[in-house]
Amino acid sequence: MDKDAFNVGKSVVFKGELSGSEDLVVEGTVEGKVELREHILTVGSHGKIKAEVFAKIVIVLGEVVGNITASEKVELRESGSVDGDITAPRVGIAEGAHLRGSVDMQKKPVAAAAPSPAAKPEAKLAPLPAGAPAAGTQRAPGA
């Protein structure tokens, strides 16, 4: 478990909208909405979330009832259970995990992702010389 992450302890029951700008570990119960657009949400093995979840990375060892949207990836571990739809470019599901819903790994263009002022800038490409192949094409080595 990440020591720097904020921890919602086992005995905590939170109802409402939970948003933040640091990683979060939930071992208690959260109901409502969880929004950590640039951070990691870990639902611990005792954690129960009944909410719409938006985060950069979501790791589920406990229980989630609700849809999960992650801009980077979702990991559903062996003890994890999700009852809802998952949307993320990368999804890993361990053997023994439970999932009831759908998984959408549609490769959306970067521009379609949720804008965030804190988002890290994308690596800039050097301008191509005149006559270079258009974006998306690849030049054969030595060509």
Partner 1 sequence: MSGLRGWLSRLASERQADDAEPAGGPEPAGYPTVTSKGLPKFLAYLDTRPAPVLLDLGAFSGSNVTFFGQRLGGKVIIGDLFAELERHARESPAEELAAFLSKRFAREEASLDGVLLWDVCDYLSRPAAKALAAALVRALRPDGALLGFFGNASHVDIGCTRFIVEDDLHVRLRPHASALARQGGMQNRDIIRMFDGLRVSDSYLLQNGWREMLFRKGGGGRPII
Which residues of the shown chain bind partner 1 in the complex (CB under 8 A)? 75-77, 90-95, 97-107
Shortest gap between Cβ of 32 and partner 1 (angstroms)?
25
How many beta carbons lie within 10 A of that of residue 87, not counting itself? 18
Q: How far apart are CA 140 and CA 51, in angstroms?
A: 49
Q: Report the largest interatomic distance among the alpha carbons of the chain, rounded to a whole angstrom.
A: 64
Shortest gap between Cβ of 45 and partner 1 (angstroms)?
14
How many beta carbons lie within 10 A of that of residue 49, not counting itself? 28
Shortest gap between Cβ of 4 and partner 1 (angstroms)?
17
Shortest gap between Cβ of 99 and partner 1 (angstroms)?
6
Nearer to partner 1, 9 or 92 (CB): 92
Instruction: List C-alpha distances in Å: 7 to 26, 29, 42, 43.
Output: 6, 12, 9, 10
Nearer to partner 1, 18 or 86 (CB): 86
Triad 55, 58, 61: Cα angle to 5°? 150
Nearer to partner 1, 110 or 140 (CB): 110
Nearer to partner 1, 30 or 59 (CB): 59
Nearer to partner 1, 18 or 61 (CB): 61
Q: Encoding tokens for residue 86?
A: 């998952």
Shortest gap between Cβ of 5 and partner 1 (angstroms)?
17
